[in-house]
Amino acid sequence: MRTSTLRPSLSHLVLIMLLPAISALGQIGPSIKPKDGRYDICLKEGQTKMTVTILLDVPSGATCVLNNYKIEWGDGKSDQIVYDPNKLELSHEYDVKNFVEQCLNDDDITIKFKQTDNCGSGNPANNSFDITFRNTPRPKFTASPICAGQQITLQNQTCPLSSQNTYSWTFGDQGPPSSSNSHTYANKGTYTATLSVSGVCGTSGPYSAPIEVLEKAKAAIADSGAVKMSNDTAFVCLTSGAILRFDGTNSTGATSYNWNIPGSVTYLDKTNGNSPKPKVQFTKAGDYTVTLSVDNPCRIPSQVKFVVRVLDLPSPTLKAQPNVCEPFTYTVANPIAGATYTLNGQPFDPIVGVPLALTPTAYVVSASTANICGSRPVSITFFVNKPSDVKITSLPKSSTVCANSNPIKLKADQPGGTWTLKNTISGIQLNAKAGDTTLVVGGSGTVQLEYSLGQGACRVTDQVEVTVSGVGVSASNITACASEGRVKLSGSPAGGTWTTTDCSGCIRNDSLILSGLTNNLFRFTYQVSNAGGCQASANFTVTVGQPKAAFSITGQCSDKPVTVNNTSTGADTYEWIVNSMTIATGRQPTLTLPAGPQTVTLRVKSGGCQNESQQAVTLTAPPPAVSLTPNNPTGCAPLAVTFAVNGTAQAGVTYRWNYGDGATATDFTATSHTYQNSGQTTRTYTATLTAANGCGSQTATTGLTVRPLAFAEIGVDSTNVRCTPATIRFSNRSVGQGQTSLWNFGDGSSRQTTQDTILHLFSARDSARTFRVSLIVQNSCGRDTDAVSIRVYPSLVRPLFNMSNARPCAGEAIQFTDATVPRPTSWVWRFSDGTTETSPNPQHRFPDANKTYTITLIAYTPCGYDSLRRTIQTTSPPPASFALAAPYVCRGLAVAFTNKSNPANRFRWNFGDGSPIDSVNFSPKHIFSGTQTNYNVTLTVIGATPGCSSTLAQPVSVRDAPKPDFSIEGGADVCTPGPVRLISTDPKATQFRWQLSNGQVLTTPKPELALPPGRYDVKLTVSYDQGVCADSSTRPDAINVLPCEVVAPEAFTPNSDGIGDTWTLFGDTGVTRIERLRIWNRWGELIFDASDIPLNSSNPGECWDGTNRGIRMPTGQYPYEADVILQGANHQKRVGSIALIR
């Protein structure tokens, strides 16, 4: 808002001269104003409604006749009204409950009048005015207690707080009122502070509250229970409980207490270290420093200390004096100075002593000392007299006790003696502990117990005889078998009882019933009582074994072991019995049984339990031996042979002949047979006679040689692997040959010899070689040849191999192919990454890139081995890299992907939206048209081989393009210089570029700018970051900047000369109306008041003619105030004075 006072100038004079012409352009229209003239409305606390009444002023002569209009009340409500000249007052009720309850600051309400008639070429009337709701101030403040001499600042909680309020404070200590809310009280006490508030709505009623002013705390202590006080020291006695009641309430101004008492103390009666009057009990003698700290809201603590001395009764000591039986002089060892010593009530000098005679009366020596808590005397008693007989009181002269009963506490009529056993029995002994002696009766027998008192001549004794009666119970662990059904329980001596907790109802009389029991172990107690009432017990266990013998035997011959199938269960040991003789003990024994009927028993055991199973078997003996003799065992074919057989035929035995040439017979008696040999080898036939039954057979054989034609056969004395140089021994195994044989060794050499064996040297150079060795033999029946193949390996191995790729990628499979000569029989491949392969042609992957690896091949042949070492250099997979111009793209628009990988490599693009894989475009463009907002785009770069590749995936965010829509705050018409406020309406955009037709460029979402008058085109370009998804729109003549200067003439001359006879405001085209114009005289009387009038008007009621109610005003200065409406609903207030000249 701008207020100015204009001085007369030539332009002003010209303007005054033009007033009649300008006035003719003005129009008269209806307007509204408050009925009571109040624009500020004050509300009171608790008020919920407020009714405002306005007046409708409808001047005559309006160019657009009023028929219909609308009132907008500024609270979201409006009334559409048909004009009635008799109803010019309009009322509206506002809901002010929330405004009042929350005690809000001023609330401006604009009430608007809008003519809704169709005025044709004219303009309908529109005007408005503001009312302001104000809360009447409600004074309030808070304060905390404060100390005298300290400044207090009262917390002003008046509502509403406003810069237009003035505050008046009084603090109740007769000081003058103050506008400050801080104050310092000199003295303690309770004061009443008062706050009054004045504002636009007048002065509020005062608000008062008490102020508590404290003085700083001062500590003081009183005590209750001490013996006396001396120099800040209190004495208290442990014998009286050592309880003190401290009283800190003598402290002045204290609101908090803290007691610090180090040491062993206990707080009583629910008091503690923060109680004003704690009750404290001391538990140990000593000096205690008691500190009391007090404080109050002044936060200036005060301390006081004093000492509590806790005393105990003095305790002198007297050494015990044993009884004596001879007179002596009694003295006190190390007497205490100041102590009083008496003997039978008579004081004596403890150092000199007092002679004591024999007397049956006890001597009593006492010692005492005293302090303020009293005294604690001590005394000892002893006798000086001939000893009296002692008597054992805990046992009679002769007694019997049970062994292992509770130890017997030994007592005598005179204490201080010694107990001894006169004889020793195992288990019976004395046990002295804590001043008492007990007799432990663990064994059995009679002992002499003696009690002696005194020494030497003063010694007296008493003896008793104690017989310890022992039961001597014993019970041994039992092992039983579940098959027994019951187990007899035994213990010594007889007549006792058995108990167990491991089974219920399982004991009957002296037996354990095993039926229904599943456990294997039971714990028992055997208890016996003797005639003297003594009891004893022994613990033992019963282990129940459950062995079950079961077996089967397969076989029926006496000369062969039978097959035993042992299916026994629960057994630990096995015993095999045949005809009452144990023959084996294993679980699966090998049993050979004699011929005839046999009974086999298996006895199994588990612990002490056993179980048996029997089987009866009958075994049969094999047939007796047979023999046969041929009459002609050797000859040429055909060879007729007659066989003689020994013995006689046996019942149950079958006989069968096998002549060895396929012919058979079943007779037992002697038989003849003719042998043929049409083959090439000398043939040996075996004639066999077999006698057999179900348990075996007996066989007799004889050899028959039928000479064949000559037959050549080579034997080789050598390993299968033959290495150069290989010396090999051959044997001549030919049949029917003559005296000379011919060898051919396959290497170009031959030899004729009659030797049975022969040596020959073979050699192979570069590769394994096979030699064909033949033997030729002949006899009178003909000639024959045999041949064998001899393979000889060279001793030298040449390892060779090739690789499928000499520069593979890390992780890429490499094929290694062996090319060694001769071909190896085994391979070892060693790779320097720590792995080993043994196949002939392995495949391997090296893990690390850009690294040299070593490959070693060790090739093995039957005759040696050698190795070959080579290196391989791995490379990195080609890196995959691509980029987008921005981290997101526009939906439906092509986006370019920049491939930063090596273009020499192959590539594949996968855009993640289901579109085909792109392996054609190196740096492709792609359109995302789906509804998703995020896609994963993957680039795979492939090197020399498919196994050498790398993949990069990047997320791509897809967004809808922002819209370049905008608005102009307040509309397109704006007063110069503005500001003009441009607003982008699409919230998605993040970058903005405003271009005005005057060349200005702005980059904020809501720029403000000042412009000279004129019309301006506006172009808005919006996008996301980095210009992604840019779009633009242009609006011609989007902004109309108008001149809005308001001119107020400094003087006028209402002399009816037609020049400057009236006074009003003049304005440019951007100034729309005068909302209100008021003029006062010098006494403050309002002499002109007009609302919603045009500028530049000289019409009556729209300008001042220098009169007030028809009375001419005198020459002078007249203050004025004007509210002017500019384009864009902006307001400007003008204040100044007018010079009226007559």
CATH superfamily of 714-792: Immunoglobulins (2.60.40.10)
Q: What is residue 830's DSSP assignment?
A: E
Task: State yes or no: pLDDT of 4 exceeds 50.
Answer: no
Q: Are 741 and 784 in contact (CB under 8 A)?
A: no
pLDDT above 50 for 2 = no
CA distance 955 to 977: 48
Q: What is the pLDDT of residue 28?
A: 60
Give the amino acid at 285. Answer: A
> At residue 17, does pLDDT exceed 60?
no
Model confidence at 740, pLDDT cuts 50, 70, 90, reads confident
| DSSP annotation string for 644-703 | EE-S---TT-EEEEE-SSS-EE--SS-EEEEE---SSS-EEEEEEEEEEETTEEEEEEEE
| Nearest Cα residue to 715 out of 664, 785, 648, 787 | 787
Task: Provide the 8-state DSSP code for 350.
Answer: T
What is the arrangement of strands in the sheet containing 925-927, beginning at the earlier edge strand? 882-884, 894-899, 925-927
Q: Which residue has the higher pLDDT, 20 or 105?
A: 105
> Where along the chain do its domains lie?
10-135+1043-1140, 141-214, 222-311, 328-382, 406-467, 478-545, 571-619, 628-707, 714-792, 801-870, 882-959, 966-1042
For residue 291, the model assigns a pLDDT of 92
DSSP state of 780: T
Instruction: Judge whether 441 and 428 are in contact, CB under 8 Å.
Output: yes
Which pLDDT belongs to residue 1004?
A: 92
Contact 669, 695 (CB under 8 A): no
Alpha-carbon distances of 500 from 84, 510, 541, 737, rounded to whole Å: 119, 13, 10, 95
| CATH C-level class of 141-214 | mainly beta
CA distances from 343 to 348, 355, 381 (A): 7, 11, 10
Token pair for 1091: 């609302």
User: Quick one: average pLDDT of 850-871?
Assistant: 91
Q: Give the Cα separation of 3 and 1120 in Å (integer).
A: 12
Spatial CA neighbour of 976 closest among 1047, 1071, 1037, 1043: 1043
pLDDT one-digit tens code per residue, 209-239: 999 888 888 888 876 555 444 456 778 888 8
Instruction: Show Cβ contacts of residue 969 under 8 Å, excluding neighbours closer than 6 positions.
Output: 981, 982, 983
Residue type, position 71, single letter:
I
Which value, to the nearest 10 degrees, does the dihedral of the CA atoms of residues 237, 242, 243, 249 take? 60
For 87-106, b where at least 16 C-beta lie within 10 A, e where not — what string? eeebebebebeebbeebeee
**992: confidence class by pLDDT, cuts 50, 70, 90:** very high
CA distances from 1077 to 303, 1064, 1094, 1105, 1122 (A): 75, 9, 11, 13, 4
> Given this model, what pLDDT does residue 226 score?
54
Return the SS3 of 1067. strand
Q: What is the pLDDT of residues 26-79, one digit of tens each?
A: 446 788 999 888 888 888 888 999 999 999 888 876 668 888 889 999 998 999
DSSP 940-981: EEE-SSTTSEEEEEEEEEEEPPPP--EEETT-SEEETT--EE
pLDDT at site 13: 31
Q: What is the Cα Rg of the chain in Å?
A: 69
pLDDT of residue 680: 57
Lowest mean pLDDT among 12-21, 812-821, 1089-1098, 1127-1136: 12-21
Q: Can you give the pLDDT at residue 739?
A: 61
Q: Are 1078 and 1120 in contact (CB under 8 A)?
A: yes
Give the pLDDT of residue 224.
Answer: 59
The verdict on whether omega for the bond into residue 561 sits within 30 degrees of 0, i.e. cis, is no
Burial 198-228 (b: 16+ CB within 10 A, else e): ebebeebeebeeebebbbbbebebebebbee
HSE at residue 334, side-chain half, CA atoms within 13 A, is 4
- Picking from 116, 132, 36, the residue whose alpha carbon sits closest to that of residue 82 is 116
C-beta separation of 81 from 94 below 8 A: no
- For residue 654, what are its two tokens? 């079958």
Question: Strands 40-43 and 126-135, how do they pair?
Answer: parallel
Residue with tokens 């006062």: 1080
List 378's β-bridge partners, or say none.
Answer: 367
Q: Judge whether 714-792 and 801-870 match in fold.
A: yes
State yes or no: pLDDT of 594 exceeds 90.
no
Amino acid at site 518: T
Res. 834 pLDDT band, cuts 50 70 90: very high
The H helix count followed by the E strand count for the chain is 3, 100
- 1051 and 1024 in contact (C-beta within 8 Å)? no
Residue type present at position 718: S
What would the two tokens of residue 967 be? 């608005």
Query: In the Cβ-directed half-sphere of 118, how many Cα atoms lie within 13 Å?
Result: 1
How far is the CA of 306 from the CAs of 280, 300, 843, in angstroms? 15, 21, 95
| pLDDT one-digit tens code per residue, 74-104 | 998 999 998 888 888 999 999 999 988 888 8
Which stretch, 391-405, 444-458, 899-913, has highest mean pLDDT? 899-913
Q: Is the pLDDT of residue 12 over 60?
A: no
Closest CA to 136 of 176, 83, 196: 196
Q: At residue 1114, does pLDDT exceed 60? A: yes
Q: How far apart are CA 1055 and CA 997, in angstroms?
A: 51
**CATH second-level architecture of 801-870?**
Sandwich (2.60)
Alpha carbon 455 to its chain centroid, in Å, reads 79
Cis peptide before 160 (omega within 30 of 0): yes
Q: Residues with Cβ < 8 Å from 402, sequence gap 6 or more?
A: 441, 468, 469, 470, 471, 532, 533, 534, 535, 536
CATH 2.60.40.10 for domain 10-135+1043-1140, yes or no, is yes
pLDDT in tens, 995-1033: 999 999 999 999 999 888 899 999 999 988 888 888 899
pLDDT bracket for residue 488 (50, 70, 90): confident
Strand partners, 910: 938
CATH superfamily for 966-1042 is: Immunoglobulins (2.60.40.10)
882-959, which class in CATH? mainly beta
Helix H, strand E, coil C: the string for 524-586 is: EEEEEECCCCCEEEEEEEEEEECCECCEEEECCECCCCEEEEECCECCCEEEEEECCEEEECC
DSSP 22: H
Q: Give the pLDDT of residue 213.
A: 86
Tell which CATH classification among 2.60.40.10, 3.30.450.20, 3.40.630.30, 3.40.225.10 matches the domain 628-707. Answer: 2.60.40.10
| CB 321 within 8 Å of CB 333 | no
| Residue pLDDT, tens place only, 154-172 | 888 888 877 788 889 999 8
What gap in Å lies between CA 391 and CA 372, rounded to an integer? Answer: 47
Q: pLDDT tens across 126-141, in order?
A: 888 888 888 888 899 9
Element (H, E) at 33: strand 31-34
User: Residue 15 pLDDT > 60, yes or no?
Assistant: no
Instruction: Indicate the pLDDT class of residue 723, thresholds 50, 70 and 90.
Output: confident
- pLDDT band, very low/low/confident/very high, at 3 (cuts 50, 70, 90): very low
Query: What is the per-residue pLDDT across 1052-1063, written as a single tens digit (0 to 9) for each?
Result: 999 888 888 999
Q: Categorize the per-residue pLDDT at 8 as very low, low, confident or very high, splitting at 50, 70 and 90.
A: very low
The predicted structure's pLDDT at residue 738: 62
Distance in angstroms (rounded) separating the CA atoms of residues 517 and 248: 80
H/E stretch holding 10: helix 10-17
Distances (CA, A) of 700 to 629, 651, 660, 751: 9, 18, 13, 45
The pLDDT score that the predictor gives to residue 26 is 40
pLDDT tens per residue, range 330-358: 999 888 888 889 999 899 999 989 999 88
User: Rounded mean pLDDT of the chain?
Assistant: 85
Task: Count other Cβ atoms within 10 Å, centred on residue 1124.
Answer: 23
Which of these, 818, 786, 791, lies nearest to 802 by C-alpha position?
A: 818
> Which pLDDT band holds residue 471 (cuts at 50, 70, 90)?
confident
Q: Which amino acid type is present at position 514?
A: L
The CATH code for residues 222-311 is 2.60.40.10
Distance between CA atoms of residues 887 and 1093, nearest Å = 59
What integer is the mean pLDDT of 827-846?
94
- 954 beta partners: 937
Long-range contacts of 243-246 (CB under 8 A, 24+ apart): 243/268, 243/279, 243/280, 243/281, 243/282, 244/279, 244/280, 244/282, 244/308, 245/277, 245/278, 245/279, 245/280, 246/221, 246/222, 246/277, 246/278, 246/279, 246/280, 246/290, 246/292
Give the bridge partners for 441, in sequence order: 428
